[in-house]
Structure 1
Amino acid sequence: MTISEWSDGAAPAGSGGAAPARPPGDALLKVTGLRKHFPIKKGLFQRQVGAVRAVDELDFEVWPGETLGVVGESGCGKSTMGRLITRLLEPSAGTVEFEGTDITHLGVAGMRPLRRDVQMIFQDPYSSLNPRHTIGTIVGAPFALQHVSPRGGVKKEVQRLLSVVGLNPEHYNRYPHEFSGGQRQRIGIARALALKPKLVVADEPVSALDVSIQAQVVNLLDDLQQELGLTYVIIAHDLSVVRHVSDRIAVMYLGKIVELADRDSLYKAPMHPYTKALMSAVPIPDPRRKHAKNDRILLSGDVPSPISPPSGCRFHTRCWKATERCGTTEPPLLELLPGRRVACHHPENIEAEAARGG
C-alpha cells in the first residue's frame, strides 16, 4: 500500500527543497519569548537557590509544510524546547501559538483535541515504547485516547500505518523487544502519524541508530512529509542529517537561538561565529581537503553552566572575535539580511552576503 493511499489522496505540501524566507500565509507555529527555568532547591524546606536556564527567550516561526532543523551542542536546550512547543512541559514564560491560538497554558483537557494536530517522535526508540504492550496496542493508543473510530476498525488502520512506515502489518501482535532499533523508531513514527497531525516534533529521531538505518529513517520522514503535507521541527546534533532534511535551520547555544536562516545560506556562509565553528566540524568526504589548513575551528573551554550563564553574549567566553562589548551587552536576534536572523555584535560574512543580495 502506498502512502498516498493511506492519506486519502491528500495533496502533498512538503517543499522538497529550500523554503522561501517568509512563505505566504500565516505561520503554523509561532513562539515568542519562550523560557523554561528549572528551579534548584536545597535544604529541609526546599528553598529555591537558583535555576537551570534551559531555554531563555526563544522567538521563531514554523510555516506550513516546511522543516525547521534545530542544532547545537548537547545541553543547549534543544530537547527542552521540543517538549515546550508540544506542551509536554509547562513554560516559565513566553507564548506558544498554534494556528493562531495561544496554547501556552492550556490544561490537559484543553490540549487533548490539539494532540491530534501536534505529535512528537522521541529520541530513544527503546525507552519510548512500553515493553508490556504489543505493537498494535502502542500504535493504536492515540485512537483510544482521542476516542477516534477509524474506518475499517483500529486493527486495520494500525496495520495500514505499519505498512506506511515499511513494517510488516502481520507483526501487529509482536512486542517491542522483537524489533531492531530502526524498526522501533518506525513504530514510533507510525504512532505519531496515527491521527494525521499537522506538526511533528522529532527529537533526535536517528541519533540512537546505525548509520545505514539513519538514512532509511531520514528518507522515510522526507517521503512522508511530501506525501502527507507534514510540518516538521527536527532536533538533531548531526549537521549532515539536518542539512539533508531542513528548509530552515535554527542554531542554539546555551538556551538561546544565535542564528536562524535558510539551509543553503547557513551552510554556504554562516554569520555567527558559533555557527561557523559547528559547520567547520562537519566531515567532508574529500581526501584532498583532509589536511587543509584553517578549515577546522577548535573552540576553547567548555560550554558554560546554564545555572550561571555568562553576562552579555553567552558565547563570548569561547569566541575568537569577542570584544569588551560582547561581555557586557547581550546581542539581540536581529534580521541582518532578508530571512537571516543573527545574535552577534561581530557577524561573519555580512559584507559578502549583502553584496550578493542576501
Structure 2
Amino acid sequence: MSIPAQSGDAEAAASGTAVLAEGAASGETLLKVTGLKKHFPIKKGLFQRQVGAVHAVDGIDFEVKAGETLGVVGESGCGKSTMGRLITRLLEPTAGTIEFEGRDITHLGVAGMRPMRRDVQMIFQDPYSSLNPRHTIGTIVGAPFRLQGVEPEGGVRKEVQRLLSVVGLNPEHYNRYPHEFSGGQRQRIGIARALALNPKLVVADEPVSALDVSIQAQVVNLLDDLQEELGLTYVIIAHDLSVVRHVSDRIAVMYLGKIVELADRESLYRTPMHPYTRALMSAVPIPDPKRKNEKSERILLKGDVPSPISPPSGCRFHTRCWKATQICKTTEPQLVELKPGQRVACHHPENFADQAPQDTVLLSAAKEASELVPDAVVSGGPSDGAPAPAKAPATEKAPAAEKASTVEKAPAAEKASTVEKVPEAEEATAAVEAVEAAKEAKAVKEAESAGSSVEPEGPDGTGTDATDSQESTGK
C-alpha cells in the first residue's frame, strides 16, 4: 500500500521514492541541527522592555539519518516540543542552524518554506485542538493538496478517502466533523493529514500521550507500518520511555533545554551513562507479575526542575544530582562521544571512567540528593566518580547516663546469648556481671513504673530486655 503520485507525474514520484530509499539504505544525513537555540523574551513595563528570557532550547546538536527514528525524551518543560517546532520551522530560531538535505532552512521565510512543507510535516500532541471543529474531515485532510496546488490522481476526494483507509478509518466518514470522533480517531486524522503529501520527515509531538493505553499500541503500530511502507523518517517526542524504546533507533535525552545523552536504543537502556538518564530508567515499571516483589532501585530526584529563565551554572543537573562536585557547578560539560555511538555530557558518567577524577568532594545539594538514591546505585561499580555517602550507623548510641554500662550486642541472625566483651574488660568478668545486674535491675524498675512486667527467662537462659523493647518500639 503506497501513496500514488499527487502531481500527476508518476515517473517523478517514483524517482523521488527511489532516491529516498537509497538515502535510507546508505544512511545519509537527512536533518542536521547545530547549536540550535530558542529564547522567548520576557517584557515588562509600559515600554515593554525586555527584562529576561526563557531559555527553552539552549544549544543542541544532533543528526537524523534517512529512514531512522530519533526519540526525544525528558521531563515536562525541558524544551522537547519547542525543538520539534523549530526543526519544522513553525518557530523562528534565536541562534544555530537547521539543515535539511544539505540545505540551510534556518531563516527561510513563508515563501521559501512553502515547497519544503511537502517534505517536512508534523503530528501535533493534542488531537482535539489541532483539528478545526468547523471543517469536515475531508476538508482537513485535503487541505495540504489545496495549499500546495497539487491535484492527486482521481481527485482530492478519492485520495483523502484512501488516506483515511490507510490510517484505519472508514472512508465513508469523509463528511463528518471532528466532534464525532474519539481521541484515537482524531489522532489518526492528524496522521492522515501529515502523510497527505508523502513527506520525507515527520515530527510527532507526543502522538499517543493523550490516548488510552489500548489505543496507544494501535497508533504506534500504525506509525511503524507506515514507516516501512513509505520510507519515512521520524522524530518522535514522548514521555513514555517504553513507547520510545519500541519505535526508536536512537534516543536523545533532554534536560532543561540541553541534550545530556544521545545514544542508540540498546546502549541507552542497557548501560545509561548520564545520572539523569539512569534516574529516568529507574522509573520505568517492570511489566512482569513474577518480579513484582523484587527490590526496586527507584531513584527519587530531589526538588523540581530549575527555572529555564535562570538556569544553573555549569551542569544544569548538578542541583539534583547525587554525584555533583565543584566542577559540575562551575564548568559546563560538553556532549562528547565516550563510547561508539553514545554521546554524554557529564563529568562523572555512569558505567564509564570518571572524566574528573581529581574532584571528589560532593556538593551540599549532592549530599542531600544521595539520601534518595539506593545504596546499590550510589556504590554501583568503579565507574562512579563520586564517593559513596557515609552510611548511617547500624545501632544508635545509648544515652550519656548509660554509656558506661552499655555492652555491644551480638548479630541478630546468630540469636546467641553470648555478649561481645569490651576490649578493656576482657579479663574483668566480675565487672561485666555487675553491669548486667545493674541493667536488669533498672529494666525491672522501669517496667514496674510503666505498669508492665519483664518476661521470664526462656529455657536457654535468655530473657527479654524491657528497655531494649521499649526503645525499639519507640523508634
TM-score bin, normalised by smaller chain: over 0.9
> 1: CA distance between counterparts of 2:307 and 2:55?
9
Among 132, 137, 144, the alignment partner of 1:135 is: 137
* 2:4–2:153 Cα contact (<8 Å) kept: no
> 2:141 is paired with a residue of what secondary structure?
helix
What's the CA shift for 1:350?
Answer: 1.8
Give the conservation status (yes or no) of the 8 Å contact 1:12–1:229.
no
2:455 maps to none
Once the two structures are superposed, what CA deviation does each residue of 1:115-154 show, in whole Å capped at 9, x if it has no partner? 0000000000000000000000000000000000111110
Q: Which residue of 2 aligns with 1:149?
A: 151
CA contact (8 A) 2:203 2:236 kept: yes
Q: CA RMSD in A?
A: 2.1
> Which residue matches 2:167?
165
Query: Which is bigger in relative contact order (C-alpha 8 A, separation at least 6)?
Result: 1
Q: Is the 8 Å Cα contact of residues 6 and 160 (structure 1) preserved in structure 2? A: no
Higher share of residues assigned strand: 1
Amino acid at match of 1:152: G
> Structure 1 residues 244 and 66, CA, compared in 2 at 3 Å: closer, same or farther?
same
Query: What is the CA-CA distance between 1:4 and the residue it aligns to?
Result: 3.4
Structure 2 partner of 1:252: 254
> What percentage of aligned pairs have identical amino acids?
85
Q: Which residue of 2 aligns with 1:322?
A: 324
Q: Unaligned regions of 5+ residues in structure 1, if any?
A: 15-21
Show the 5 A alignment for 1:1-358. 3-4=1-2, 24-293=26-295, 295-350=297-352
Q: For structure 2, which runs of at least 5 residues remain unmatched after alignment?
A: 6-12, 354-379, 384-475
Q: Name the structure 1 match of 2:388.
A: none
Offset at 1:293?
Answer: 3.3
**8 Å contact 2:3–2:198 — kept in the other structure?**
no
Give the aligned length. Answer: 345
Partner SS state of residue 209, structure 1 = coil
Query: Cα–Cα, structure 1 residues 23 and 343, in superposed 2: closer, same or farther, change >3 Å?
Result: farther
Q: CA separation in 2, counterparts of 1:85 and 1:248?
A: 17
Aligned equivalents of 2:282, 2:292: Cα separation in 1:
12
Which protein has the larger Cα radius of gyration, Structure 1 or Structure 2? 2
Bigger proportion of residues as helix: 2
Q: Is the 8 A contact 1:249 1:266 kept in 2?
A: yes
> TM-score, length-normalised on structure 1?
0.93
Normalising by the residue count of structure 2, what TM-score does the alignment of the two structures yield?
0.70
Distance in structure 1 (CA, Å) of the matches to 2:342 and 2:137? 43
State the one-letter code of the partner of 1:194. Answer: A
Q: State the Cα distance separating 1:294 from its structure 2 match.
A: 5.2
Q: Which amino acid aligns with 1:4?
A: S
Aligned counterparts of 1:311 and 1:335: Cα–Cα separation in 2: 22
Measured in 2, the distance between the counterparts of 1:107 and 1:78 equals 23
What one-letter code is carried by the residue in structure 2 that aligns with 1:197?
P
**Greater mean deviation of Cα atoms: 340-349 or 286-295:** 286-295
- One-letter amino acid of the counterpart of residue 342, structure 2: R
Deviation, structure 1 residue 340? 0.6
